[in-house]
Amino acid sequence: MSQVGAIAEPCPECEGGVQVSAEVRSGEIVECPDCAAELEVVGVAPVLLALAPEAEEDWGE
């Protein structure tokens, strides 16, 4: 993914380079191209990535 204005950030899971847009917003989910981990943008100035929380099932409760 080579975007104009992209920022490379390290993946918190594998330390691989994750390209994010310079216009990324907090709460967006991106995927690491190396380990396929889903990452949540938790900060934008500077850009900070964390493992995205697993979706929880409510089983109709």
- Read off the pLDDT of residues 25-50 as tens digits, 9 standing for 90 and up: 999 999 999 999 999 999 998 999 99
Q: pTM of the full predicted structure?
A: 0.79
CA distances from 56 to 14, 21, 52, 61 (A): 24, 28, 12, 12
Q: Rounded to whole angstroms, how far apart are CA atoms 29 and 51?
A: 9
pLDDT of residue 45: 87
Return the beta strands (E) in 1-61 as ranges.
6-10, 17-21, 29-31, 38-44, 47-51
CATH architecture of 6-51: Single Sheet (2.20)
Say if residues 60 and 42 touch (Cβ distance below 8 Å).
no
Q: In this model, does residue 3 exceed pLDDT 70?
A: no
Q: In this model, does residue 57 exceed pLDDT 70?
A: no
